[in-house]
C-alpha cells in the first residue's frame, strides 16, 4: 500500500469520525442554560409564500430544538403534562386538529407552530403568551413536528404507547432473515 493511499485512508476515517461525532453530538446535546430565541413577532411570521409583486425575503427563526433528541423528548413530556392531548389526542385529533397528518392550517415550520401556541387560534386553541418559557416553546414545536415525521428519524421518539403515523418500533412484525443464496438454505430434513 502506497503512502498516498494510506494518508487518504486515514483522512477519510478522520472525516467520517468527525462527521459522526458532530452529528451525534448535536443530536444528543443538552443545552440547559442556552438562551433560546423569543417567539417571533406576530408581523414577522408568514403563513403563505404567495405575495403580490416581488416577494419579500422570508424571515425564518432558526429553532435550536430541531433535530435535537433531548429537546424533542422534553417537548414530548410537556405535551403530555400540559394536556395538549385533551384536544389533540396524542396527535390523532379530537376537539382539536390532528397533528400527525400532513395538513397544517397555520403552517408547519417551527416558528409557525410556536406562533400558534403563543397567539392561540380561533375556535379553541388557547393563547399561551407569557405562560411558556422560550426553550419550552421550541421544544414543544420540535416534538409536534416529529409527530408527523418532519424530524429526522434518529432524534425522534422511537417508542410510543399511543398512536403514531408510523408503525411503532416495538410493534414492527418480526421478520425472519432469509438466506441470500441456496448455499445457506438448510437441507429439507433440517427444516421444521
Contact positions vs other proteins (CB under 8 A):
30, 32-33, 74, 77, 81-82, 128, 130-136
CB of 3 to other proteins, least distance (A): 47
Taking CA 59 as the corner, what is the angle to CA 151 and CA 141, rounded to the nearest 5 degrees? 30
DSSP conformation class of 190:
G
CB of 32 to other proteins, least distance (A): 4
Q: State the cell numbers at 129.
A: 403568551
Q: State the cell numbers at 40.
A: 417571533
Q: How far is CA 92 from CA 137, 143, 159, in A?
A: 21, 14, 16
CB 88 within 8 A of CB 97: yes
Nearer to other proteins, 62 or 130 (CB): 130
Nearer to other proteins, 82 or 106 (CB): 82
Nearer to other proteins, 100 or 142 (CB): 142
Nearer to other proteins, 26 or 166 (CB): 26
CB of 154 to other proteins, least distance (A): 22
Chain centroid to CA 3 = 44
- Give the three-state DSSP class for 121: strand
CB of 135 to other proteins, least distance (A): 6
Nearer to other proteins, 132 or 141 (CB): 132
CB 31 within 8 A of CB 65: no
CB of 30 to other proteins, least distance (A): 7
First to last CA, the chain: 49
CB of 132 to other proteins, least distance (A): 6
Nearer to other proteins, 25 or 179 (CB): 25
Query: Whole-angstrom Cα distance, residue 88 to residue 163?
Result: 12
Query: Whole-angstrom Cα distance, residue 91 to residue 99?
Result: 4
Amino acid at each position: 500500500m502506497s503512502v498516498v493511499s494510506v494518508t487518504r485512508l486515514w483522512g477519510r476515517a478522520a472525516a467520517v469520525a468527525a462527521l459522526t461525532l458532530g452529528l451525534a453530538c448535536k443530536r444528543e446535546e443538552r443545552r440547559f442554560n442556552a438562551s433560546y430565541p423569543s417567539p417571533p413577532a406576530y408581523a414577522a411570521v408568514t403563513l403563505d409564500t404567495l405575495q403580490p409583486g416581488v416577494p419579500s425575503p422570508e424571515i425564518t427563526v432558526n429553532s435550536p430544538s430541531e433535530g435535537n433528541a433531548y429537546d424533542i423528548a422534553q417537548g414530548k413530556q410537556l405535551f403530555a403534562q400540559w394536556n395538549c392531548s385533551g384536544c389533540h389526542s396524542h396527535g390523532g385529533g379530537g376537539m382539536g386538529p390532528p397533528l400527525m397528518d400532513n395538513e397544517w392550517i397555520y403552517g408547519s415550520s417551527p416558528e409557525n407552530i410556536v406562533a400558534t401556541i403563543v397567539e392561540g387560534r380561533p375556535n379553541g386553541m388557547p393563547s399561551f403568551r407569557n405562560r411558556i418559557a422560550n426553550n419550552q416553546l421550541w421544544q414543544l414545536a420540535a416534538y409536534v413536528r416529529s409527530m408527523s415525521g418532519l424530524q429526522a428519524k434518529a432524534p425522534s421518539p422511537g417508542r410510543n404507547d399511543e398512536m403514531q403515523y408510523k408503525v411503532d418500533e416495538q410493534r414492527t412484525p418480526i421478520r425472519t432473515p432469509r438466506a441470500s443464496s441456496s448455499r445457506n438454505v438448510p437441507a429439507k430434513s433440517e427444516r421444521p
